Structure 1
Amino acid sequence: MPRQPREQEEGSSREALYRAPALDKGLDILELLASRSDALTRAEIVKELGRGASEIYRMLERLVARGYVYRSAEGDRFALSMKLFVLAQHHPPIRRLTSRAVPLMDRFAEESGQSCHLVMRERDEAVVVAHAAASSDWVFTVRVGTPIDLLTTGSGQLLLAFQDPQAKEELLVRWKDSERATIYAGLEAQLSSYRKAAYRIDESQQIFGVNDISVPILSAERHALAVLTCPHIRRTTSEQPDVERTLVLLQRMAESLSL
């Protein structure tokens, strides 16, 4: 019988030496749930993974307790939570998005004479992760680190409009029977129109005299990775791009950053 190459033998021996069965079970569950668009019952998970019901039960309970897996309202189905997504925001690929975005945002600010900021979602709110301001003496900017409400801001509403179905389901469960759930229900028609248009323009709900222009940065599945927002202000002393032209510049930037 032919011998395995030495590299393969060493790799196999290292794998056997450093095995962590409990970790493997947890990762198997996460990978299985990540591959499915619908939630699975415990029995379905046991069958798919070919493991004992008791060990899957214990691992699922720990994953639910740590927030990596979401249990359905009925209690008999399991799906991935958004925790891995939140962790991924601190991962280099997310930092690469901001590093790619900042030079483009600076160019946009110079061309439009307006400021802009980049917003990313984190669970039930969002946060400004980058911004750029024009060189004009009179500008309006939003500071990096500013928390952004999902329901009452252009950035937040566009993030909601382009959220994936699982994120929406989890959000509605967390907001069930709350005032936020009622507000969200009242926004459904607007969010649908934003999704069809792929942008949002409206008066700022925080500052008088400002029109918020927001466009999404999309994943390959057309879910929002982030949102670019320009708080557009009109000046009386200079000629600069109007709202429509500013929207075109913002869309061009978002397209170059989308996957």
Structure 2
Amino acid sequence: MRRVRLVARRGKAETAARYTTPALEKGLDILELFASTSDELTKREVARRLGRTVSEIFRMLVCLEQRGYIAQSPEEDRLRLTLKLFKLAQEHPPVKRLTAKALPVMHDVTHKINQSCHLGVLDGGQVIILAQVDAPTSTGFYVKAGSSVDLMEAATGHVILAHQRPEICNRAILEWQRDTNEEVPPDLHKHLIRIRQRGFEERASYQVNGVINISYPIFDDQGFAIAALSVPFLKRIKDPTTAKDVRFHLQRACLEISKEIGGE
């Protein structure tokens, strides 16, 4: 029996050795290193943390940068992880599942509050609108599905940032800075804390006068926001719907969607 086990183990070891892929392993080691830290790293720092020489990883770093997985920071000698992996994850079937589960709930909400609503996710330094449902009225305001909105001008984006992992939040902000070459609003950190404390965002639109953006997060199974459901509330004459009504139905809708996708 002992001889059989030794042979089996030797066979597994030989199989593993036969199918090793050093380049792929180095690439994955690099990606996992950047994913585990919010620090921007030089090539020498990457090599030191991986226990390798710069010459061993140089070509792999160049390849990952060319493919868009890592990028140069404003300080050109340092590298950071981009959100390309996050974008790939958005193309995964769970995103389609999120949209499929959300749309019936969104239709229900719009009929209860006579307002449009939209579902958004982070995409680098922007918010992408995955789905949108019109208000069941002849007039209204809506954000077009498929459109992108500046991260710093979107209640949807702020709600997701406020309920995300710090490293994801920081990366999205860095992406926004790189894309826009603008400074982060000085009160952003305090603003996100306030959103997290009360659980939602409600503020005047950054782009349209008279519209109040109300947004609630949709959570994954670890309690982090993967999306947000938002209503650009426009008060109509003779329509009794209030911002309080919108908050009530929107919160219930987000809890329902979170539950449907297995979130907390």
TM-score band by shorter chain is 0.7 to 0.9
Alignment partner for residue 168 of structure 1, among 167, 170, 174? 170
Given residue 246 of structure 1, which amino acid in structure 2 is its aligned partner?
V
- The answer (yes or no) to whether the contact 1:172–1:181 under 8 Å persists in 2 is no
Compared with structure 1, are the counterparts of its residues 23 and 188 closer, same or farther at alpha carbon in structure 2 (3 Å cutoff)?
Answer: same
Separation (CA, whole Å) in 2 of partners of 1:206 and 1:146 = 15
Compared with structure 1, are the counterparts of its residues 180 and 223 closer, same or farther at alpha carbon in structure 2 (3 Å cutoff)?
Answer: farther
Please list every run of 5 or more consecutive structure 2 residues that lacks an aligned counterpart in the other structure.
none
Using structure 2 for the length normalisation, give the TM-score.
Answer: 0.77
Using structure 1 for the length normalisation, give the TM-score.
Answer: 0.78
Q: Deviations over 1:196-224 (max 9, x none)?
A: 22211122233333221111223456543
Q: Deviations over 1:75-94 (max 9, x none)?
A: 67655321111221111122
- The answer (yes or no) to whether the contact 2:124–2:175 under 8 Å persists in 1 is no
Given residue 185 of structure 1, which amino acid in structure 2 is its aligned partner?
P
What is the aligned partner in structure 2 of residue 29 from structure 1? 30
- Matched ranges for 1:1-259 at <5 A: 1-2=3-4, 13=15, 19-36=20-37, 38=39, 45-46=46-47, 49-70=50-71, 79-166=80-167, 167-168=169-170, 171-172=173-174, 175=177, 180-181=182-183, 184-219=185-220, 223-240=224-241, 242-258=242-258, 259=263
Corresponding pairs, count: 254
Alignment root-mean-square deviation, CA: 3.4
- The answer (yes or no) to whether the contact 1:150–1:159 under 8 Å persists in 2 is no
Instruction: Please state how far the C-alpha of 1:239 moved relative to its aligned partner.
Output: 3.7
Instruction: Please state how far the C-alpha of 1:30 moved relative to its aligned partner.
Output: 1.7
Instruction: Please state how far the C-alpha of 1:140 moved relative to its aligned partner.
Output: 2.7
SS of the equivalent of 2:87 reads helix
Compared with structure 1, are the counterparts of its residues 129 and 173 closer, same or farther at alpha carbon in structure 2 (3 Å cutoff)?
Answer: closer
Compared with structure 1, are the counterparts of its residues 190 and 65 closer, same or farther at alpha carbon in structure 2 (3 Å cutoff)?
Answer: same
Instruction: Please state how far the C-alpha of 1:40 moved relative to its aligned partner.
Output: 5.8
Identity %: 36
Separation (CA, whole Å) in 2 of partners of 1:246 and 1:228 = 11
- The answer (yes or no) to whether the contact 1:70–1:79 under 8 Å persists in 2 is yes
Q: Deviations over 1:154-209 (max 9, x none)?
A: 22333444454334256347627x77315x22444333322322211122233333
Please list every run of 5 or more consecutive structure 1 residues that lacks an aligned counterpart in the other structure.
none
Separation (CA, whole Å) in 2 of partners of 1:173 and 1:140 = 29
Instruction: Please state how far the C-alpha of 1:74 moved relative to its aligned partner.
Output: 5.6
- More displaced 10-residue stretch of structure 1: 61-70 or 197-206: 61-70
- The answer (yes or no) to whether the contact 1:114–1:139 under 8 Å persists in 2 is yes
SS of the equivalent of 1:151 reads helix
